[in-house]
Every structure is written in C-alpha cells, then in structure tokens.
Chains A and B, each alone.
Chain A
C-alpha cells in the first residue's frame, strides 16, 4: 500500500472544511456617500439568501425592502433623511449571516438590518446585532426561541435580545394553526411527520404535532431527513406502510418538492403539508405532482388585503425580475418599521439624526405602530409581531390558492 489511507483521510477532511469555507459573501458594494451639508444619509442593511436554493424567497425579500426604501425616499417620509440600501447574501448559512452582520454593524451609517430568512441564521446574527446595539428585524423567522427563549414551551417566556424584532409570527402559532387546520378542515386523523433537522423545520413539526395530537389526531410515524437530500424513496416506502391521511413536512421547498413528488410516485395518495418554507412558487415548478398539497403561511395573502394593493402595484411597476414570494409583504413592513422608527427619532430630536441613533431606533421600534401591507404592524414585549394572522394554502393545478385565514390565539 502506498499512502492510500493518508490520501483518503486528507481528502475527506479538506472537502469537509471546504463546505464551510466556500460560502463567503460575494456582493461587496461600499456605500459611503455623504453629500455633505444638510442631507443626512442613513443605511438600512439587509441579509437574506440571495443565491442558492432559497434565493427565490431571498430575492423577493431584497426587492420588497428596496421598494420600501425607494418609496420612503421618493415621498420624503423622513424630512432631511435619505435612506440607502445595503443588501448582503448569506446563502442560508449561519456563518455568512454572522459575517454580514459584523460588516453592516461596522458601518456607522447603518441604523437597522432587515433579515434574515432562516431561523438558524438569525441565531448567529442576534448576538452581533445586540453587541452593536443595531436593530435586527426579520420578516420571516418563525422559531419561538429567537424571541421568547428556549423555555417557551413551559410558558416560561423571556425576551432574549432587546434589538431583535420580527414581523413574522412564530411557529408556535403557525404550527398549531396547521395542526388545527389538518384536523378540522382537511379532516386528517393520522399524520406522518417528517422534519429536516434545522431549527425551523424541527420547531414547526413539533408545534404541529402537539396541536394535532391534542385535538385527537394520531402521529403514525416520524422521520428526519438531511436538508441537502433529494432522494427520499426509502422514507416514502416507510411512510407508505403506515398509510397516513396526511404527511407533514417541517422544512423548506428545495427538499419538499422532490419529497412530495416521490411520495406520489411511491403510490401515496395523501397530500403533503408544510409551513411557510414550502409556500413558494418554485415548489410548484420543481414538483410536477404538487396538486393538492397544503402549506400555511404567515399573514393574509397579500392579494386579498386592501392594504397590500399599493404594494403589489408598486412592486409590479418597479419591474423586479423575481416575484415577491411569501415574505414580500412582511419585508416591506419590517423595512417600513425601521423607517418609521428613524422618523420618530428624528422628529424627537428636532429634525436631526441624534448621535446615538441606533439605540434610539431600537427604543422607537418597541413603540412603532402603523398600518402596513400585512395589517397592523407593532411588536409585543418579546419583539414578536402582534399580528397572528395565518393562512392555509393549497396547490390548485398550477398555483397556491388561499383556503382559510384566521387569527390564532394562544
């Protein structure tokens, strides 16, 4: 034998390390333009997966935030203050998210950050945002732990970070709504539950299961997959033998699409149900057998809201290449919340941006209240949105159709 084993070992280790290091940030656009003089310029940062599997959702987030900033500048929402936009790509990786936060926090002009999409990324960003006292508002994070701490299940809730807010409601609400919808509307009695082992997927599946069993439903099997997996046939065969009425997936559409297709190819008649991570147009394009599948998503469908009409029209007029997707409305609201907070801070300070603008913006966010795209926008004592509206959708041939919307009460 020559150095086979050594060679194999080195290759294995190197490639392993590579997966971590190959995901630095790519878009670098410095934005330090002071017109000098009267006009103050502040920057709103953004962190979302702009490339990779989840880029459909990420691009929608970026465009919607951009739209809010453009509107604020156009209408002179905050007199004397011009907003700039600094979007960064996290590729859904916690390490990249943290680097992006550090970078944005290092820029004195940044008054707040919109994002991220993934709860697992948020976990790595919260500390950095807190240490720099910069507001972080996610339009999409739904894991309860992020705001209420890990003991929320025992009703021992405690705010985790004073700088973290979100305009998306939690998995506790969304999962429970899903469980109730599955039992009462889909009339499922038995469910097979699958999650992708990520913060979001596990939390959502747990909340769903808790509510579904509390109502009298039965979980006939559970399974965990890796988020990068695309072959689920072995799991399909297992699920088939339990013959469930419904399959629930806690995870995102890149894996959910092939999972759903393989379930149906494997002879299961039961539909797949998931949360907002599955509620994307790409779920349907990637999955020829998506008809009949369900997903819940936060808020009312923006198409049905009077308050969203302007947003949709503006989004169309701006001519963005990608759809606004699941989080367009909540992103617009998150960005608008920062803009409103800056407005409050500036007007309190006699029309000028104070020197400790970041801290003031964080305080102002707790008091923010306005009618946004998704409804009334304000934050509770944990930093969560006070809007607990959830909607269940079903794939009807080629598009998601809203089936049922309701406010969910804890």
Chain B
C-alpha cells in the first residue's frame, strides 16, 4: 500500500520534471536545424509557465469560463493517471494496468481538445469590432463561425481519422503478448520482479538488467508498430505536420486562443504531460521498461522519454502544416501500415 502511495506521488513528480524539459529540448533541436541558438533549455517548459502564473488574471471570453479554465487541469490529471496505470505499483488494481484503460484516457484527451474549443469565443474572428455589413457586403453565410469552432470540427475529424494509427500500434504488443495487461507486456520483454527495488539504489546491476531486455521494438512487427505509433503520437499532439487544429495561418492557436495567464500556463502543462505520458507509454510497451519507484530505472525511463520529442521536433522542423487533403491519405497509409504490423504479429503468434 505504501508503495502505491509513493508511486502515486513520485512518478507524476518525475513526469512533471521531465515535462519541464521536453519543450526546451524540442525548441533547441528545431532552432539548431534552423541555424539559430534557440532558447535556454528550461525557458519554454518551466520559466515560461512560471511567468504565466504571475500574469494578470483575465476572464476568458467563454460561455462557461470556470469549466473552460478547469479543462487543462483535468487533462493533466488524466495524463498522470495514464502514466500511473503503466507503473508496476498500480498493476495490483484490477483492470487499471491495461492497454485498454490507457486508450480510454487518451480518448478523453482527444475529446478535451474539442471541449476546450467549444467553450472559447476569441475576439480574433467573429467578435472583432469590425462592421462587415456596413461596408456593403452581402451576408452570404448562414452562420458565422469562430476560429475555435473551426478547430473543434478539425479535432472531431482528427478523432475519426487521425487516431487510428496510434491505437493500432498500441495493440500490436497486445497481439504479440496475447494480453492487454502491462504486466504481461513488460514481462514478455524481460522485465520481472527483480527489477523492482523501492528505495532507489544506484547500482550498475540495473544497467545490466536494462541491457538484457528484449524490446518488442526490435522485432519486425514491433518496428512497424513503433513507426506507426510515432506518427500517431504527432497526430494526437497536434504538432507539425498534423497541427491543422491550430494552424497558425487560419485558426491561429485553435482551441486554446482564450487561455491567458495561469490558464495558459495550465494548458502548456497539459501539453507537457501529454508529451511525457505518450512517450512513457511507448517506452513501457515497446522497450519493456515501465516507470517504477526504483530511482535509477525511473531516471533511465525519463531519459528515454526524451527520444520521441527529439525525433518529432526534427520531423516538425522539416514539415509544413498538412490540410485534410494531405492528412486523409497520410492517415490511411499509416493505418494500413498499422494493420500490416497487426497481421504480421498475428502470424508470429499463430
């Protein structure tokens, strides 16, 4: 029971600290590609957020401001639970330490983006104090749509087409292991009870153990699924090239336009926790190293969690924003690749 409580406190804390670093790493990589120095490592993820918490509080232009403000906080908790579900200490709670539970939480996050956009009415489009009709225009649209509402529609489309690759990839290890439990998935890759050592001893023994793991990522279906997961990861994060929900050229920041001061800080924290949680789920499922109370292992886990953001910032630096004209075929292509990985893993276990 003590281990459960300790894990519930320490692992989200580790997620938070790693999360502070991720935006800095991401920006630094992109800046180097663009032959710039880029911001200091902690500025975008930590100092910027801290700054937001000291800014003047502004009431958002929203029909339900309190709910609107609370949504990022909900998102942060949801993502912390997604990480906790993958920890060995939580596996004892029935049905929570399963892939299905994490998929459910990720679906909540996808829905959150829609909810955030639905409760926002920024001044930058319809509410702009500019009298269109007086200029002699004929009102041809039945309905005037805010940027955020346009983003919500895009978020809805992304839920239907954009999330297939990620979830398909997540179920490839499930098929290979024939179990939806994280305990079975990590055990399949060589992680056993001897790894778990509460108290945080620093010992080279752990390095040996980590090197003895047999990750699913290094199998053929695992590699395919890992690639598909990576693309799905970028899609879920709404990052370039799949950032149509917040395309700067039309809907600017999309759903989050009205977040200011501490609420914007909260929104960025939510993004950081999603970045960490998805990376953490990937490391657990495809490398076989879950976040545990064992501090050296937790440290290695957190370091491995930086790989995905580094890779996606490289992809983002070389990509324009895709419109749905490009997103549909790309998503279908990676969905097909995900199915291929699934079929190969089915053949492997038959």
- Do the two shown chains form a genuine complex with each other? no
**Interface residues in chain A, defined as those with a beta carbon under 8 Å from any beta carbon in chain B:** none
**Interface residues in chain B, defined as those with a beta carbon under 8 Å from any beta carbon in chain A:** none
